Amino acid sequence: MTKIKKRGENGLIEILTNRLMIIPCSLDIAKSLVFHRKELDKQSPIEFPICWPSAFVKGFLPLYIENLESKEKKNDCGLWLIILYEEKRIIGDILMQGKPSKEGMVELCYHVDEKQVDETIAFEAVDAFIDWLTYQKFVTKVVMECEVEQERSIRLFEKLGMLCTEKEGRFLMWEIQKKDFE
């Protein structure tokens, strides 16, 4: 069961499932990950594993920080943290690659620590996030990509009801449309 909560005056969104809390990565956390990782590890009530963030997210963080600093921005796009709630530990992230297009398409990618969590956790996180996106009037299609040898991702996308719509080299493009959610 997915619950969506808004807290505080800034309208910060929390997506809650039975085991997970998915929240937008704040400017403070993003800066701490880049500039003050050791201090963040000491001070935070949430455990930030050494293997997180992934190299992809590390490369994205400077741009993310710049975007958050440059303009007032809603927390509906960007980097979201997947937290194993009872253990208070980050297990991965979901990245919205930009705002939805004029046609309502949004591209996502996800990363979970596959050594520490099973496939059901990744499904629970991505399913809850897509569920939240379906409530947004401006989102009509969710697109994700994986490599042909990423069997776990392929199983996840199939379980989510996504369709493989394109193969380009070693990459597969998957999508699900709003009518598929209803």
- Per run of 10 residues, the mean pLDDT along the chain (length 182 residues) is 56 86 92 90 88 87 87 65 92 89 91 82 94 83 95 95 95 86 54
Q: What does the alpha-carbon distance between residue 145 and residue 47 come to, in Å, rounded to a whole number?
A: 28
What sign has the CA pseudo-torsion 96, 93, 63, 7? positive
Let me know: does 107 contact 153? Beta carbons within 8 Å. no
Q: How far is CA 73 from CA 19, 76, 143, in A?
A: 28, 8, 23
Other Cβ atoms less than 10 A from the Cβ of 129: the count is: 22
Q: How far apart are CA 1 and CA 80, in angstroms?
A: 19
* Residue written as token pair 């998957």: 174
Pair 146, 169: CB distance under 8 Å: no
Contact (CB, 8 A) for 51 and 86: no
pTM: 0.87
pLDDT at 11: 57
Residues 6+ apart with CB under 8 A from 71: none
